[in-house]
Amino acid sequence: MLRLLYTNIECLEDKEIAHYLDFLPYSMHGDILRYKFADDQKHRLLARLMLRYCLLETTGSDELMTSWKKNDNHKPYVAGWYPFNISHAGKWVIFAYSNEDIGVDIEKQTAVDYQSLIAYFHPEEQAYVRLSDDKQLSFFNIWVKKEAILKAIGTGIVEGWQEFSCLDEIVAYKNEKWLFHSLSIDPGYVSYLCTSENITSFELQEVRASTIATQAHSAAYALKEA
């Protein structure tokens, strides 16, 4: 089982931030409002609204929102619920949950100094980027895959980058096999989902702030009536 939602922060006007904050526990407000820029606030607000929507959809209640925590590697989790993962970049926010560990990442393609950054890659990946016709795209494909797999494992993005190659769609790492799924969200971005090899299909759904906030209650009601 895997569910994946994504949303565009441009669907939310700056003046609406305060309104949608009211759908979240007060304990979450500080983590969102401590960011200076509205786009950074929207990234975090929309991610938490998607979590709330999925909690209501699966449990009929948003009480577990207050159980939001982060582990020692800063990976968020909700005790008593499914493993989930969040990523945001530019105008997009992605939220995914599953009954197995997963990782998701999205990055906007921008001009980067890939020649210095590929030093963190596996030697096979370094050679692949150097020989590629589109070095920037090749760099981002590998970078995003690496972030996704390390987020799935929960070790963070600074550990073990040179220990494995992401050139294949299935990677053996930490005594497990991981499968990469390319996400077609925006041609200007690169995004990958990393799952166990048991997950071969999933639903990718675009949502808006108004949908995940106001329709969540009807989803919860339907679950209770079922």
In this structure, what DSSP letter does residue 92 have? E
- Looking at the structure, do residues 112 and 192 belong to the same domain, yes or no? yes
- Looking at the structure, do residues 194 and 221 belong to the same domain, yes or no? no
In a domain, 95, yes or no: no
Summarised one tens digit per residue, pLDDT across range 23-41 is 999 999 999 999 999 999 9
- Looking at the structure, do residues 10 and 75 belong to the same domain, yes or no? yes
Question: Strand 2-8 vs strand 203-206: parallel, antiparallel, or unpaired?
Answer: parallel
Total domains in the fold of the chain: 2
What integer pLDDT is reported at residue 196 of this predicted model?
85
Confidence of residue 71 (pLDDT cuts 50, 70, 90): confident
- Looking at the structure, do residues 189 and 156 belong to the same domain, yes or no? yes
Summarised one tens digit per residue, pLDDT across range 167-205 is 988 888 878 899 999 999 999 999 999 998 777 778 889
In a domain, 92, yes or no: no
Q: What percent of the chain has pLDDT over 70?
A: 92
Whose CA is closest to 150, among 173, 132, 125, 123? 173
In this structure, what DSSP letter does residue 126 have? H
Whose CA is closest to 18, among 40, 52, 44, 45? 45
- Looking at the structure, do residues 139 and 173 belong to the same domain, yes or no? yes
Q: How many CA atoms lie within 13 A of 180 on its CB side?
A: 27
Write out the two tokens for 11. 């669907």
- Looking at the structure, do residues 53 and 109 belong to the same domain, yes or no? no
Question: Domain range spanning residue 109?
Answer: 101-198
Question: Using CA atoms, how far apart are residues 82 and 67, in angstroms rounded to an integer?
Answer: 12
